[in-house]
Structure 1
Amino acid sequence: MAYAQLLAPDFLLILCGYLVCRFTALGRAVWQPVESLVYYLLFPVLLFQSIVRSPLQLYEASGLVAAGLGTGLVAIALAWSLPYLPWLGRHIDRADHAASAQVAFRFNSFIVLALADRLAGSQGLLMAAVLIGVCVPLFNVAAVWPMARTKGRSVLGELLRNPLVIATVTAVATNLLGLRLPQWLEPTLSRMGAAALALGLMAAGAGLQWGQLARGRWLSACVLGIRHAVQPLMAWLLARLLRLDAAQTAVLMAFCAVSTSSTCYVLAARMGYNGSYVAALVTLSTLLGLISLPLALSLLT
């Protein structure tokens, strides 16, 4: 399977945003309003439609969901604990950690769906949709939590006001109640979702500053190591422990080895953190996915 074909569009959009911002009149002053548009409108619509689209059949995929939540909780715990490790904490800036911890456990849901379809057909696509629908709310809350605490804000207040958390929780509730979007509305929402992906990745490229990685080498190595090494290994172990079938194992490995979510940058920037540093991590994660995906899926044999 040509994994580069799945990851190349993301990387090229990041590169396009970087070049446009650096070498044309469309500088940072243009991209800041774009980030707000993506964060407050386009990404919430994208998340809502992605979760509502397919019914959440939790019973049939209970083992897969347990494994996905298990790997996610381990990654969250590891990411949150980094500043408190005695041999590592002194090398980590607390504000940068709050913004970048999410890189360790969030995932690019559209690459997961594309891989699930190729690996296990319609059955894999449905299982991936269930996994995404259950994990996205938890992961979004885990992403907002350290940023709200570091800024000294009310964590509950930030969660209740965060558009990504509101969209995912509302979507899961809508799905579980059996409600569906009217067909005439779906094309408009699909176009808004496509715009969210393109503009979000280009905004990450526009905010990219490679020099930012020099100030957080240890932190960068840790969050990317959790995302691209620890999570795939945990997925493999849990798949064997829970005796998942071949299709479920393939979906779980794809879920745990893809690049991080492009919304990491927009979330960090909109909450007042070092967005350029997180944008660099998102770019590196996209490239590392070319290595972690084939290695993780090779464990299936």
Structure 2
Amino acid sequence: MHRDSLFYQLFAQLPQTLFDLLGIQTPQGYRFDSVELKQTAFRIDGVFLPPDPSGTVYFCEVQFQRDTTFYERFFAEIFLYLRLYRQTFSDWQAVVIYPDRQAEQECFEPYQLLVNSDRLRRVYLNELGSLEGLPFSLALMQLTVLSEAEMPTAARMLAERTRIEAVPRPEVIMELITTIVLYKFTKLSREEVLRMLGFTTEELKRTRFYQEVYAEAQEEGLQQGLQQGLQQGLQQGLQQGLQQGEVLVVLRQLRRRFGDLPADLEERIRQLSPHQVEALAEALLDFTDLGEVSDWLDRSA
């Protein structure tokens, strides 16, 4: 799992995550960034910048593999940053996120004083507690360390919480849940993951994934229709373009699920009436192989 990218998305979308970890109320105006210190090619995973120089800057690292020199590097990065940008803050705090205590290096010398000081907060995701009782930001973090056997049930539970609880930006949380599951189950399509999370057909149509696919296909269909409209009349071309857009949505979804389509099957779909295309768009969400698509076309002929 590419956790650096995943946690970057989580911090960028929900910057309150860091402050939930620290158990403090989220201050206003903080900006999240990933900072490269070019003089040494050091990079700090996450820097939470205060809105004014009187605030505290927070340094955050996600460490899922044991590194016997991690603290040497981390503190070197921090103190170089402090030297370069001292005028932008008044105090600093460091946070390291581990999946469990086994991922942390064993020997802290000669940094033991800093490691055990109030300057550093170490977080172990497997000790945060039950998903049901955690804020969404921390529950999403803990979701990243669950096994394949545990993740589907936990992800569905979080998706259900998103539906029934009054949470800000629920679409962002649902997108993060989906992304985390996709990182774990690399062979599943995004649509299959959404179905795993319990989305109904209507809910699936409201997701950003479906709307992006639909908009892309509609645009392609409109362009084809407009070209035909130059020859046959603008109104007729627009109507054909919209109809072709519906067909392209169906074809694109089928390709994402089953790969390349046989030419004869694709042609049969292109010959469907607008009503039949709409019905197929509803039905295909339950298909498991191309044989079921052929059977549906036979029944609808």
Which structure exhibits the higher relative contact order, with contacts defined as CA atoms closer than 8 Å and separated by 6 or more residues? 1
Q: TM range, normalised to the smaller chain? A: under 0.3
Query: When you count strand as a share of all residues, which structure comes out higher?
Result: 2
Larger Cα Rg: Structure 1 or Structure 2? 2
Q: What is the TM-score when the length of structure 1 is the normalising length?
A: 0.22
Query: When you count helix as a share of all residues, which structure comes out higher?
Result: 1
